[in-house]
Amino acid sequence: MQYEQTKSLTEGEFKRLFGVKRQTFDEMVGVMRQYIKLKKTSGSPN
């Protein structure tokens, strides 16, 4: 399931599929996006 598809789920369906509330999931996605952004911008060039 794509991230965009999760937006059409009800709260109950969302929690049943992912095991967390939508707000918690959105916070987790935000943290991961920050991590990926930092990972791409830091380090030495190849």
Residue-level pLDDT, tens digit, the chain, 46 residues: 788 888 899 999 999 999 999 999 999 999 999 998 888 765 666 6
Tell me, what's the pLDDT at 42? Answer: 57
CA distance 18 to 25: 8
CA distance 26 to 8: 14
Yes or no: say if 30 and 22 are a contact pair by the CB < 8 Å rule: no
Tell me, what's the pLDDT at 37? Answer: 87
pTM over 0.75: no
CA distance 11 to 30: 19
